Chains A and B, each alone.
Chain A
């Protein structure tokens, strides 16, 4: 069962990478990730919420005692 779960995560990441590559070569079909994010981040609530999630990920994953025992 573990492999199925990890496989789903891998599929999501692979799709994201594939879409990014496609957007790089065909920007008229799919807008590049940075364009979408720049547009979304121009609204302050979006910017706060996304920065908050980024902050929390750092706090959750990296904010453990250093060096790790």
Chain B
């Protein structure tokens, strides 16, 4: 088992499906059934990705489709700034695009140069992610219990005023696309 896989596994069980199923439950709590369903599908895809039997099916597709697929994906997301997608139906296409993109994307194992610094950094980032997740989950649970949600705002509630202005929306879209660019075009991957 490679190191990067091992760090997200406990006794062979990858943690992603657990996290995604928990998130699906949270979505159902706020009556967002479509979001909940999407999270459940993502959890199933994560389980399938761990299955080595399907790996060989995508090897050839990766070589042929990886680069054009990335470009289509970035262009499609960028179009959100300019078009009235009337949201849900039009954006469902991304549900198909995202798993397909990962399956055809090139894979390369990256060796770590400085193991101590890497481990330290990994646990700091993991700690921050857990702190953010707990704060968001706590705020969300308090808001659904009927207490004034303004007292414990979730990230959505804090960002709402910004998203309701054209400039604010554009400013948030820029880092979002940048993160997506990093995820999809990371230089270290072949």
Contacts and interface: CB of A to CB of B under 8 A. Distances in A.
B2 A43 contact: yes
A41 B184 CA distance: 9
A12 to B, nearest CB: 5
A36 B121 CA distance: 7
Contacts of A57: 176
Contacts, number: 184
Contact of B124 (A1, A19, A42): A19
Interface size, A (range): 35 or more
A67 B84 contact: yes
B91 A59 contact: yes
Interface of A is mostly: helix
Given A33-B125, A39-B4, A68 B163 contact: yes
B176 A62 contact: yes
Interface in B106-164: 107-110, 112-114, 117-118, 120-122, 124-125, 128, 131-132, 135, 139, 150-153, 155-156, 158-159, 163-164
A55 B113 contact: no
A62 B172 contact: yes
Nearest to A1: B151
B182 to A, nearest CB: 7
B108 to A, nearest CB: 6
Given A38-B188, A49-B16, A68-B166, 16 more contacts: A2-B150, A8-B135, A27-B114, A32-B121, A33-B121, A33-B125, A34-B186, A36-B125, A39-B4, A44-B107, A48-B98, A51-B101, A51-B102, A51-B184, A62-B172, A63-B88
Interface of B: 2, 4-5, 8, 14, 16, 19-20, 35, 38-39, 42, 45-46, 49-50, 77, 80-88, 91, 94, 98-99, 101-103, 105, 107-110, 112-114, 117-118, 120-122, 124-125, 128, 131-132, 135, 139, 150-153, 155-156, 158-159, 163-166, 169, 172-173, 176, 179-180, 182-184, 186-189
14 contacts: A2-B152, A8-B135, A23-B121, A38-B110, A39-B110, A39-B112, A43-B2, A45-B14, A47-B102, A48-B42, A61-B172, A62-B163, A64-B163, A67-B166
